[in-house]
Amino acid sequence: MVSYSTFAIVSVSAALLCHGPAPADTLAMSNGDRLSGTLVTMTEGTVILETEYAGETAVEWAAVREVTLDRPLPAVVEDGSEMEIRRLPADGVRLADVVAIAPPALPPPQAPTWKGRVDFGYAQTGGNRNSSLGTLTAFAARAGAPGARLSLFLDTAQGATEGEETANRARLQGRHDQGSSDLSYRYYLANIGYDRVRDSDRRVELGYGIGRPLIDKPRNLLTAEVGLAYVTEAFGTGESESNAKLRLGESWRRQLGADAELLESLALLSTLGDLGDLTSEFVLAVRQSLTSRLAFTTRFVNTYDSRPVAGTERSDYTVTAQIGFAFGD
């Protein structure tokens, strides 16, 4: 004969098996409600709770008064340190101190890669006027620490008309941008190059300054910069000069459609103590994408020197059509 106590134990066990295990975690809310389930994660002020009756439910962390867990979970507090919790509030830890609970695993960081583009252009005419012009423009950039970017820029042009040299220049620029706040950044740059048509055998520029976006939208970006530069230049005559200069610059990138964009930039250098001694470079380009990698670019470049070397003009310009391809992700 089965005793009463044995019958009671069997009955209770069967009831527990029929109803399943009790919910593991409990959130006590500020309005008095209690939510039960499995706490999946808490990030960016939102708790994800897995419940039997509603699946995954999102709850505002600010509305939670107390947390009770059936197993320890990793948590991150506001100073960046990590700890394990089973109950909140706990000794010395308030709910407001916790910024994440069991945060999703982040993907492993990827090594920085270079990406950019290379553009080629060449024109040859004959008949009444023989002329030729070849150009190469290349740009590459690599992201570094948050808010930092390293970039390289190369620009060359070789041209002649009726046997007279009309373009013979090259410039290599290295630049490092470092964000100092959400609205401004610092830049460091170094330029080295020559322009034989303007009788410049070697020109070196070292600069530092700050920049700030004036318009910052996905399809329209306008930035302005101000800084100082030290420029030394050697001429074909054997003379050379070195000056500290004020550097002003701006750049504008505007999307013209799904596959076209306008690119414009201006860099102006003026000698400190003699602001009438200035040089500038103005670039205006329209780029039309042909494929995801290939693009056609029409480019206008104007250089100006208020005090050119004898026998050269103050203003010089080239207009080129280039085919180029992008590389990197």
- Which pLDDT score, from 0 to 100, does residue 256 have? 94
Q: Find, among 247, 256, 189, the residue nearest to 220 by Cα.
A: 256
Cis, bond preceding 89 (omega within 30 deg of 0):
yes
**What does the alpha-carbon distance between residue 250 and residue 231 come to, in Å, rounded to a whole number?**
19
> What is the average pLDDT score of the chain?
88
> 115-327 maps to which CATH number?
2.40.160.40
- Which pLDDT score, from 0 to 100, does residue 108 have? 66
* pTM (two decimals): 0.67
pLDDT at 26 over 50: yes
The residue with greater pLDDT, 99 or 80, is: 99
The dihedral through the CA atoms of 16, 19, 21, 25 has a sign that is negative
**Is the separation of the CB atoms in 264 and 251 below 8 Å?**
yes
pLDDT at 23 over 90: no
Over residues 79-93, the mean pLDDT reads 86
Q: How confident is the model at residue 111 (pLDDT cuts 50, 70, 90)?
A: confident
- Which pLDDT score, from 0 to 100, does residue 107 have? 63
Place of tokens 């948050």: 146
**What does the alpha-carbon distance between residue 200 and residue 40 come to, in Å, rounded to a whole number?**
67
Q: How confident is the model at residue 20 (pLDDT cuts 50, 70, 90)?
A: very low
Share of the chain above pLDDT 70, in %: 91
pLDDT at 88 over 80: yes
Which amino acid belongs to residue 56?
E
Q: Find, among 140, 148, 167, the residue nearest to 156 by Cα.
A: 167
**What does the alpha-carbon distance between residue 156 and residue 170 come to, in Å, rounded to a whole number?**
4
Domain ranges for the chain: 4-101, 115-327
**What does the alpha-carbon distance between residue 223 and residue 212 come to, in Å, rounded to a whole number?**
6
Which residues, in sequence order, are bridge partners of residue 160?
Answer: 132, 165
46-60 pLDDT tens trace: 999 998 888 898 999
Q: How confident is the model at residue 127 (pLDDT cuts 50, 70, 90)?
A: confident
Q: Find, among 240, 226, 261, 257, the residue nearest to 309 by Cα.
A: 240
Over residues 97-121, the mean pLDDT reads 84
- Which pLDDT score, from 0 to 100, does residue 53 have? 81
Over residues 124-132, the mean pLDDT reads 81
- Which pLDDT score, from 0 to 100, does residue 258 have? 86
Output DSSP code: residue 292: S
Over residues 65-84, the mean pLDDT reads 89
Over residues 129-135, the mean pLDDT reads 89
Helix (H) or strand (E) holding 13: helix 4-19
Over residues 128-138, the mean pLDDT reads 89
- Which pLDDT score, from 0 to 100, does residue 38 have? 92
Over residues 246-254, the mean pLDDT reads 96
